[in-house]
Amino acid sequence: MKMKFSKHKNGHEQKNKRVLVLDNDIGFNGMSSQKIVDIVRSIHQDENKKIDLYESRNNVFPEDIGVYDAIILSGSSASAYQQEPWIKTLKEIVKESGETGKNILGICFGHQIIASVYGAEVISSGNFEVGWKDVLVSKDPLFRGLPTSVNQYEIHKDIIPVVPENLEVIAQNSFGIQAIRVKGTNICGVQFHPEIDQNTGKYILKSRADQLKHFGISIDDCIKTYDASSDYGTTIIRNFLMGVDQQ
């Protein structure tokens, strides 16, 4: 399907914003993507903000990307360097939307898709970062109101080892780069999962227990790393959407 990238009125000229969530969540039937939708709706429950969810993992995309003010790319068990048709389409969407100044947030796999489009290499680390991990964040607007270290849910093997000059690293930890921003834009990626709460995280860990055991990873140890006082996922998504509203 040939998608359109039509131009529409900017944020100062239109009353209601439109948010597109692209569901890349292979393996969990879109569970994490629905969590993203729920958070966006909870943030804007008193506003007439339209939120659309499309199953990009099944190669289903909206006909016209241009009508959206913001795009959120979910995580996935797929890899950004795979050559599947739907992954190529995701990259086309990020490239074309970025060129028109659209707001984009990528989560985990989505973060790696953004990095790949903007010139970074995505590779397998050969190991898992999994469970709730401490992440050092910068003073970037995406982390407005957060302490310098936050405890966020992770489950990934792929990483971005280095970034080119057009990307800024805005969060990191001992495993590597944890968040990026395309300089001069509201296009960001986070390696962790701000949408995943404790119960959902536990469910995902337990469902992948055999796979993680192969890497010597204890599910119980992963669950123990959860820090309820550092539950800033909704704040991070809200901060991204504030950038959308200010345009």
Active-site residues, by number, are 108, 193, 195
Query: What residue type is 81 in one-letter code?
Result: Y
Q: What pairing do the DSSP bridges indicate for beta strands 167-173 and 123-137?
A: antiparallel
> 184 burial class (0-12, 13-18, 19+ CB within 10 angstroms)?
exposed
Torsion of CA 174, 178, 180, 186, to 10 degrees: -150
